[in-house]
Structure 1
Amino acid sequence: MSDVAAVNNLVTKYTQLQQEIGKVIIGQKEAVNFSLLSIFCGGHSLLIGVPGLAKTLLVNTISDALGLNFNRIQFTPDLMPSDILGSEILDETRKFKFIKGPIFSNIILADEINRTPPKTQAALLEAMQERSVTIAGHHYKLDLPFFVLATQNPIEQEGTYPLPEAQLDRFMFSINLDYPTFEEEVEVVKNTTTVNDQKVNALFNAQEIVEIQKLIRKIPVADNVVEYAVSLVGKTRPKSDFATDLVKKYIDWGAGPRASQNLILAAKANAAVHGKFSPDIEDVQAVAVPILSHRVVKNYKAEAEGITIDKIITSLF
């Protein structure tokens, strides 16, 4: 299949995919869109929202529609790295045997990742970066595609271990889930208080997802779009020549080069699912807020004056 035919096929399948997911997930279209773009780019996402917004159901439904294996890990203060990665045991023949942990799956839901100590967080984040784990000197490759969707509760911060900025940077997107509208919530209540179970059909398989990830990387990008993405990231750095007065006043630290890479990758994916064969500046802007929001650190003045990161980022367009 040619690249042009592959993009056209992706557009058709993407529309069908949204319809399948929409059978179960009411609303939350932005969260679904960014989660899918992240998978198509081979990245990971951080999902932030209060309890009860169907974060687990969202990930489970996406994995069903994509035909991928799914595991959920509930992060707790006593969770150890071996509980995620797996461990070696002595079998009946007195030989060490490796028992795989839940990390060996295509899609991982890391539920409340900030509830577990840094040592366990680091074990997951290393697997995210390397797509492999090392146990007792042995190297084990993870199944591809591999996608981690970690959740955080923005309300309850007592007894949590916030992710350091360097580890937040490993996530391609930071996706905020908001409350549903009145009409959406009415529909949710109607659908979930009856015996009518909606079945989600698998439209892809693991190999097809890997092929899409390769296709996204092959999409060409014009120099002016790359330069726009890099300058946009540069504007978030207070000491940069590109920095605006708003950034100098309210931002302590800006985004690093990984943000520029992710902006271009996500812009490619956004262009492809909309039938375009090369991204433009509008595609960069469409994905900029969830890619930059967790990489930019605002100062106390911004906190005091109620200035949000999203407002600062959109002002840079």
Structure 2
Amino acid sequence: MSNQRTRFILDQQPVRGLHVQLESVWQHIVGQKNYPQPIAKALGELLAAGSLLAANLKFDGTFILQVQGTGALKLLVVEATSDKTCRGTARWDENQEIAEDASLTDLLGEQGQFVLTLQPRQGEMWQGIVGLQGDSIAAMLGNYLAQSEQLDSQLILAADGNRAVGLMVQRLPGEELEREDWKYIESLLHTVGNEELLTTDAHTLLYRLFHEQEVRVFEADEVEFACTCSHEKVGNMLLLLGGQEIGQVLLEQGSVEIACDFCQQKYVFDEEDVTDLFGVNVVEAVRHEPKQ
């Protein structure tokens, strides 16, 4: 199954673009949890958007997209890397019944924010935060790009249970483009419906849209799923929680079990593991705390 990101340029206009189609990668991610349909759709669209934007990273590192809400949907998060990998997950109130036709705006509630983070392997992290503007992932991200970037950019996104797909066009850096010409490119992009975007391969779709502008399509890159969780990272998280809290869990349950929210990998720490981690027997410390 195809997991490809395809670059293209228009020879008749100073415009570049990217198309991404994720199949087995997306099916693996959406299969990790029992996602309600509208939440799965939003997560898939965010995953496609993250893969598109990460293709323009000029450093080795990670591009992180987060949509945070106060309604039934609490969080959508996607991480895409310069190594052409991605992962994603969502958190929501599982006690609430979510209708299949629930809108993203209703799911997120009245307050929320869109957070974009650039995390280089070396150097300082950069983060941008804006309010939620728009009724879809594409609209929210488009509003953010319009505010934060000097380049004209436009994208469309779609996702179902099988595929997450995105298509983005941008004015080339340093090039001038007449406003009417850019509006025409945008109008072509928005002639594509969800079904066409989800079921048409990159070469066919790009030729169908941009043949008059002499579209030039480059060799596709393969995109893979990869999770960065590890025993060491979970151990560091336990250290942050503190010996008293972890010791209490061990005293009550005999072990601490943590499941990665992205890949569901389980990490189990018993009393010996935690003693090695903290350098002290936190269970004994908690057990004797009332006497002290």
- Identify whether the pair has TM-score above 0.5, normalized to the shorter chain: no
- Normalised by the length of structure 2, the TM-score is 0.25
- Normalised by the length of structure 1, the TM-score is 0.24
Which one has a larger percent strand, Structure 1 or Structure 2? 2
Which one has a larger percent helix, Structure 1 or Structure 2? 1
